[in-house]
Amino acid sequence: MLQALRASWDDRLLRLAFFCITLMGVAVAAINPFQSVIGIEQLGFSRGQYALITTVGALLSVAASVGVGIYTDQTGRYKAVLARCNFTGIIAGASVFLLPSKATFILAHVFLFPIAATTFTQYFAMASLAASNNNKLDKDVSLSLVRAAFAGAFGLTPPILAIAVAQGMALTSVYGCAAVINSVVMMLILRGWPAEQIALSPKSGIGFFESLKELSSLSVLIRLLLIAVIVGMNGLYNILLGLLILNDLGGTAANVGWFAGGVALVEAPVMLFGALVLRVITRSGLILIGSVVFCGFFAGFALMPAMASAWWLILPGGIGAGILLSVTVGYVQDLVASRPGAGSSLVSVSHFGGMMVASGLLAGGALFTDYQGTALWGSAVGFGAGLILFVIDGGHMRKARQVRA
């Protein structure tokens, strides 16, 4: 494992992807916890208006990710596309920071940030591209390293900013932070992109609509739907965590932050270890294991009688989430293995689908049960999706041994 990590670190393109997605994690984590507070409490959007803004923005983000992924595969212009998308992120953050209003909030979250967010999937495309051009790299280790970098930054940033806000920093300053960070990332892309990778970047030669047809084949869509359901369990957990702690476990708002942070910190090393496990276990097999662990944790958390007895669940929660959030990236990419850009764009599609699944389960649960019942129902659905994916992929847990001639 150490040798694989060392080889990954020595690759200039993969190292660049690591730094860029780490900074992106800081930028995203700076805004996410405060976005709804700024939009609803400070700017005066209603809950319905805010929900519409975030939904339309998510839809445009998916469309942009697919379009950008296909374009980069056709042209091989990864560097130019990333630089432009990061520049869009600079404008988005600066507009809300300098001129906080409903108009700039809508402009940023409906149009600009969705374009800037395509960089998330393109960093995975960079990792995949690096692995395809460097036979010393293990693709699963490369992808896990990038995903763990994002998780680590996302876990550490909110507590730091919470301290700054408590010291009197204006909430809209988080948008200024995002603009500065996007500026740094753009400079890294422009100055740090390995010159040799430009010549090595593959071009698919496949037309846009032909590419779109390949992405929407029945085999791809079925598996993408199942991955969306599996990823959606983490989304449902994020929605219900605070509600369960405050309403059913007798905890406090501080408990929510500490529990979420603890789970996120466990995720990062699990993501790296998962890449090592994939040398002997199939992706769908490891996804099934992750589904069992995470859904078991989620159901167990919902059934806890009090917060004091729930802390030990941080470990299985982080293990299950770490497996699901990292292994599904490589799985989705390999649905279109020959084209890293388009394959990585499906990661965005699966995440958006997961959001819709989580929202649907929450809405459905509200009609028939309470928060605990919704968590239990969601756990059953997530486990079922993991099992179905495992079965349609052949039901093999261990990878077949390669016989040498």
Domain boundaries, the chain: 1-203, 204-399
Residues with Cβ < 8 Å from 3, sequence gap 6 or more?
none
- Of the listed ranges 91-100, 151-160, 210-219, the least confidently predicted one is 210-219
> For residue 101, what pLDDT is reported?
95
Confidence of residue 227 (pLDDT cuts 50, 70, 90): very high
Q: Which of 38-47, 150-159, 388-397 reaches the highest mean pLDDT? A: 388-397
Report, as an integer, the average pLDDT of 312-341.
82
Confidence of residue 32 (pLDDT cuts 50, 70, 90): confident
pLDDT in tens, 276-322: 888 889 999 999 999 999 999 999 999 999 999 999 999 999 999 99
In this structure, which topology does domain 1-203 adopt according to CATH?
Answer: Growth Hormone; Chain: A; (1.20.1250)
Tell me how many helices (H) and strands (E) the chain has.
17, 0
Q: Write out the DSSP string of 7-23.
A: HHHH-HHHHHHHHHHHH
Name the nearest CA neighbour of 257 among 172, 297, 299, 314: 314
> For residue 404, what pLDDT is reported?
41
Amino acid in position 386? G
Report, as an integer, the average pLDDT of 392-397.
91
Report, as an integer, the average pLDDT of 382-390.
96
**Angle, alpha carbons 102-106-112 (nearest 5°):** 140
Does pLDDT of 208 surpass 60?
no
Confidence of residue 144 (pLDDT cuts 50, 70, 90): confident
Residues 238 and 357 sit within 8 Å (Cβ to Cβ): no
Backbone angles phi, psi at 403, to 5 degrees: -90, 120
Residues 274 and 326 sit within 8 Å (Cβ to Cβ): yes
Which residue in this structure is represented by tokens 């692995």? 131
Confidence of residue 46 (pLDDT cuts 50, 70, 90): confident
Which residue in this structure is represented by tokens 């010159």? 195
Confidence of residue 245 (pLDDT cuts 50, 70, 90): confident
How many percent of the chain have pLDDT more than 90? 32
Average pLDDT, the chain: 83
> For residue 142, what pLDDT is reported?
79
Report, as an integer, the average pLDDT of 345-353.
75
Quick check: do 1-203 and 204-399 share a fold?
yes
> For residue 325, what pLDDT is reported?
87
> For residue 91, what pLDDT is reported?
97
Alpha helix ranges (H) inside 99-194 = 102-106, 113-116, 118-133, 139-166, 173-192
N-to-C CA span, the chain: 27
Report, as an integer, the average pLDDT of 373-398.
93
Q: Return the bridge partners of 281, or none.
A: 398
234-254: b or e for each residue (b if 16 or more CB lie within 10 Å)?
A: bbbbebbbbbbbbebbebeee
pLDDT in tens, 50-90: 778 877 887 888 888 778 877 877 777 888 889 999 999 99
Burial class, 7, CB count within 10 angstroms (exposed 0-12 / middle 13-18 / buried 19+): middle
Does pLDDT of 175 surpass 50?
yes
Name the nearest CA neighbour of 152 among 277, 274, 23, 35: 23
> For residue 302, what pLDDT is reported?
93
More confident residue, 53 or 9: 53
> For residue 213, what pLDDT is reported?
58
Domain 204-399, what architecture? Up-down Bundle (1.20)
Report, as an integer, the average pLDDT of 102-116.
94
- Of the listed ranges 5-9, 53-57, 116-120, 375-379, the least confidently predicted one is 5-9
